[in-house]
Structure 1
Amino acid sequence: MGIYQDRADAGRQLGQRLTHLRGQEAVILGVPRGGVPVAFEVAVALDAPLDVIVVRKLGVPSQAELAMGAIGEDGAYALERGVLSATRVKREELRSVEARERTILEDRVARFRTGRDRVDLRGRIAVVVDDGIATGSTARVACRIARNLGAAKVILAVPVASADVLAGLTEPDEVVCLATPPRLTAVGYHYRDFSPTGDDEVVWLLAAAAERLQNASSTARDRGLDEEVRIPADGLWLQGHLHLPGSTAGVVVFAHGSGSGRHSPRNRFVATTLQRAGLGTLLLDLLNPGEELNRANVFNIELLARRLIAATGWLGGRPDTASRSVGYFGASTGAGAALWAAAELGEKIGAVVSRGGRPDLAGARLAFVRAPTLLIVGSADHRVLELNRRAQAMMGCPNGLELVPGATHLFEEPGTLEAAAILAVDWFVQYLPHGEGGAGNRSS
C-alpha cells in the first residue's frame, strides 16, 4: 500500500510542510514529468509561481529504470560512478543513451516553454520538487541548474526518498522529505496511483498555475463559484469540487474511473477546458478513502452509478444549480457508471461523454440511455475500442464514436488528451441545454 493516494495528494502534504515559505519570494520548480503534479500543489499551497527544470535520467541499457546518471538544461550533467562500475556499461553505450536522452530533453524544453518565459530565479528561493528520489541523479542535476540560474537558495523537496541518498546530497542548501523508508526499492511503491504523467498534463498544469496567479486579484464574483463541496450519499459524504460560471450554462459531472478521484490530473485538464468554454463542472470522489482500499469497489458499477444519481439530485436541490442542465463525463469504469445513471435518470441527463471508457459495463441498461452519448477512444487502445463498438451497437440514443489518432488508454501521448477534451467540449456545447430544465426540474 502506498503512503500517498497519488501525486496530487503527495503535493498537498508537501505543501503543508513548506508553508513557512509563503511570502518568501519562492519559485516552485517541478521536475517533468512526474514531479510537476506534485509541484503544482506545492505552488498552490505557497501561492508561488510554478516552472519546470527539465532533466532526463540516463538509464542503464539493460535496466532502463536504473539510473547511471542524468542530464539537464544548460549542459548540466551527473554520473553515478558506482552504478557504471557495477553494470560495466561501456563508454559507447553511455554516449548512445546520452544522445537519445538529449534529443528528448531538447524536445521537452521546447514543448514546455512554448509561449512561456522561464521564471527568473535570480535572488529567489528555488524549491526543486520531484515525486521521489531513488538514486539522486536527477535531483543533483536539477539543483545545479537552479543554482546556475542565479537562485539565492536551493531547497530540494520530495514526498519520499532513500535516506542514504539524501545523506550524500551536497547540491541543495536544504532538503525537505516527508518519508525516508530504510529500503527504497522503487518510488512508485509509495503511491496507490502512480500512473504516468503525460506531456499534455505538464503543459496544462503550467498554464493553470500561471492563470491562477494572473487571476489572483479577481473577485469571486468575476470568477463565478469555485468551491469544495460535500454531497450526502449512502449514509456518508462524498467530497467534490464545484465550479459554476456566472452564466446559467449546464454542469458536467465527472465520473472518475480506476480508483482516481476529483484530483485526477487528466480529468482536471478536461474540466478546465470545459470551464473555458463556459460550462460548469463537478469533480467528485465517488468512493471514500476506506472504500478505495477494496479494489472491487472500482468495478462496482451499480454503487458508482448510485453515487452519481445522488450527486445529480444534490445539484437539483441547490438554488444555483436546480435550473441548470446536467451532463456526465466518464473515464474508464466511470463511463459505465455514467451510462448506468443516465439510463436511470432518463431525460434529466442532457448529454454523456466517455473518454477511454468502459461503457460495456453498463450492460443491458445501455438500451435505455436517452442522452446523446459520445464515445472517445484512442486508436491504439485496441481492446477498449472493441468494447466501445459493442456498447455502441446496443444504444438507441443519438451517439457517436470518435477515435483520437495514436492515443493509448491513458491519452498520455502529446496532444491526445487535448484532442479528447476538444471533442468533449463540442459535444456538450451541442447537446447540453443552456439554462433549460435542470437536475431537479426535468421529467423522465
Structure 2
Amino acid sequence: MTKLRLAIVGAGPAGIYAADILLKHERAFEVSIDLFEQLPAPYGLVRYGVAPDHPRIKGIVNALREVLDSGDIRVFGNVRYGTDITLDDLKRHYNAVIFSTGAVRDAPLEMPGIDAHGSYGAADFVSWYDGHPDVPREWPLEAQSVAVIGNGNVALDVARMLAKHSEDLLPTEVPDNVYAGLQASPVTDVHVFGRRGPMQVKFTPLELRELGELRDVDMIVHEEDFDYDPASRDAITSNKQLTVIDRIFTQWRARETGSASRRLHLHFYARPVEVLTTDGAVSGFRYERTEPDGQGGVRGTGEFREVEVSALYRAVGYFGSPLDGIPFDERHGVIPNHEGQVLGDDNNQVPGVYATGWIKRGPVGLIGHTKSDAMETIQHLVKDQSSWWSPAEPAEQAVTDLLDRRGVLYTNLDGWHRLDAHEVALGENQGRERIKVVPRDEMIRISRD
C-alpha cells in the first residue's frame, strides 16, 4: 500500500484542519503528517491574532488541541521554512507539502503622511498585545486621541483594546508587559473611520456589541450617518446580521453620553485623505465625507473634515508573505493556485505543492471558510497521487536527524503541553486564566524542558 508522507508548513487553524481532514478522508493509502511552525507554540492567529478578551476563542483552541492530541500528527515548532528546512529538504523527505502560512503583514494604505511617527499598522499592534515573541516588548502608547482606519473586526479589536481600561483585561491571558503598557496609556478618545455607511461594515454583530459593553467608555455615533438610503434599508430587512447591527446602533443612539472618562467615536462615510503631521509626527487625520452612489458604493461629496489625533492605526486588511522557492502573487499577497493546487509562472500546476487558508485565498472569511478551504485542497492532493514527489529519504527519523544536525532547537507537542501548563500555572498564581510567556528563548526553554 502506498504511504503519503505529507509536510504542512504553518500550524494555525488552516494547517491543523487540513491535517485532520486528510486523516479522515477516504483514501487507498496510509498517511504520515509532519506539521512545521516557525513559532515555538501552535495555533497561529488564534493565539497571536485575536484579542485576549475574546473568550469564544477558547472553544476553537480546544477543537484544534483535540486534533493535535489525537497522536496522528507530529509537530515541529520553532522551525523556519527557508532556513531551518528548505524546499529541497521537503522534496527529499516527503511526497508533498501544503503551505498554510496565513497572512500576518498589514496591507498597504497609500496616502500622504502614512509613514509619520505615530502611524502604525494594526497587525503589529495586534502581535504586541497578543504577546508575539518576535515583536518588541514595549509599545508607544502616548496619545490621548487616536484614529483607527478600517471597518472590519480587526479595526474594532484595536479600538476596543485601546479604549478598554487595562484592569478589565486582567481576567484574560493578557501578557504582563501588555497590561503594564495599557495601564500607562493616557488615551481618552478613539476614533474609528469607515469609508462606507453603517450598513456596509465588515465586522460581525458580536464584535460590535462588545464595544458597547466597555466599562466607563461612551459610544459616540453621529445622526447624519443614519439617514439610510433605500439600499441600506433593504439590506436591514433582508440580512439578519445587519438587522442586529442596526438594532445595536439604534440603542447606542438613544444612550446618554458625557459621564465616561473615555470615548469611542464611530465615523462612517469617511474616505481617508491624509495623515496630518507636525515635525514629522502624527497630529491629525483628514478625510472626505462620502455618500451612497445608489449602486452599493460611495462617492465623494467634496466636503473635507479634520480630526485632531496623535496616533493612527491602519486596519485595512492583512497581506501574505512570499516563501522561498514558491510562486507568489505580489499584488494580492497569495500563492497563485487553482483550488489549492499551486500554479507556476506558466500557469501550470507545480507538482507536490499545495496551499490552504489565507495564503491561498487572501485574508477573508472566518473559521468555517478555513475548513472548506482545506477540504478543497485535500481533495486535489488525494487525486494527484500520480504527481507526488518521490522522496529519497522518506523515513520519519530522517527529519529529526536533519534538524538535529543543523542545531535547530525545535519544539514538539509534548513541549507545547509543558508550555501550556506553565502559562496556566502562572495565571493561577494571580487568579487569572493564564499568563502568556512572551520571549522566544523562554518559550523554547520551557518547551524543551
Same fold by TM-score greater than 0.5: no
Q: RCO greater where, 1 or 2, for CA within 8 Å and sep 6 or more?
A: 2
Say which structure is richer in helix: 1
User: TM-score, normalized by length of structure 1?
Assistant: 0.25
Instruction: Report the TM-score when normalising by structure 2.
Output: 0.25
